[in-house]
Amino acid sequence: MQRVYLDNAATTRLDPEVLEAMLPWMTDNFGNPSSIHGHGRIVRSAIEKARKTVATLLNTSPSEIFFTSGGTEADNTAIRSAIETYGLTHAITSPLEHHAVLHTLQHLAQQDTIRLSLVRIDAKGNVDLTHLEELLRTHPRSLVSLMHGNNEIGNLLDLDAVGALCNQYDAIFHCDTVQTMGHFRHNLQALKTDFIVGAAHKFHGPKGVGFLYVNANNRIHPFIYGGAQERNMRGGTENVYGIIGLAKALEIAYRDMDEHRRHIESLKQRMIDRLHEKIEDVRFNGNSADLSNSLYTVLSVSLPPSDISDMLLFNLDIAGISASGGSACSSGTNVGSHVLSALPGIDPDRGNIRFSFGKYNTAEEIDFAVDTLAGIYQKEAKLA
């Protein structure tokens, strides 16, 4: 059976070039990078070379890049360590953030470590910058944690505008850039951010490895203790071959970004057009159908109410199509998407599917997915 993978916002297929770069560090080069003998020094040199690669691509200093186990650890490190180090008592986020951010801040608020404010969003899921400024004016020197690209509806944050507001009110700005890293170019010399994060498996690298950028103006306490690794910022033996793979994957992403963006945008537009042709009253959540104002890898589809709305993903999977009903980090639960639930005017009776695209997808796969989805609806209509 043909299988089509359209869940690239959850994870991406490992690039063969990345695997090739990783293999020697799984076999021959096995030394502990903290060891001072030759085996260890070879590995330490490779890690620092990878750090320099990441820093160069992001136009920053290697001293500002710290490797982690992924985006969730990087987010937790930035949030918890900034609050502890600087004695912050107030944080601002949105109801649409990834749970790595939202749950962390909610937990800290429940412990009375901080007071938490949620910035308003409009019907499309865009952050109300006027309300953000009101919150900052009332609570200067806050932690602001807002994502660059929403993993479910594809909305993009105006990083320059938020960074300027944070700078004006002496706030600390943490931005979850997991979904845009490797898909957009980040110039960290120009961005007014204190922390950004990346996860290799979102841009065709290995799972279980990511990084945290800490602006040189910040000196935060570690989140994980237990060793002097990562310049005393993250205890634990480094995931060496993961770090090598991350750097190679990001290098490839930047090398081929323009070509891949054109290809993926054409697939997204093709799906939008064909869904309009095949399914009456199809809609799109957030800004995801606006190619000039959204994460080009994500399309959040809202389908007409039907008796099969709750079974759409199951039926697609049976037909060989992998997609998501929201964030993959919540898949397998009975809890609906907190992102869609927070959007004003969302009809809970409509079926919602997130399709997310990658460089390995084809136009034929898009056609197959749309035809299959339309067929499911036509079959349901005949049975009604």
DSSP labels for 10-50? Answer: T--PPPHHHHHHHGGGTTT----TT--SHHHHHHHHHHHHH
The answer to whether the beta carbons of residues 5 and 322 sit under 8 Å apart is: yes
The amino acid occupying position 31 is G
d(CA 144, CA 142): 6
Beta-carbon count within 10 A of 206 CB = 21
**Residue that the structure tokens 């960074």 belong to:** 163
Contact criterion met (CB below 8 Å) for 317 and 332: no
- Active site members: 329
Query: Rounded to the nearest 10 degrees, what angle do helices 159-168 and 129-138 cross at?
Result: 20
Listed as own residue / partner, the contacts of 310-314 with beta carbons closer than 8 Å and 24 or more positions apart are 310/351, 312/351, 312/353, 312/373, 312/376, 313/353
Quote the radius of gyration of the chain (alpha carbons, Å): 21
Cβ(376)–Cβ(158) below 8 Å: no
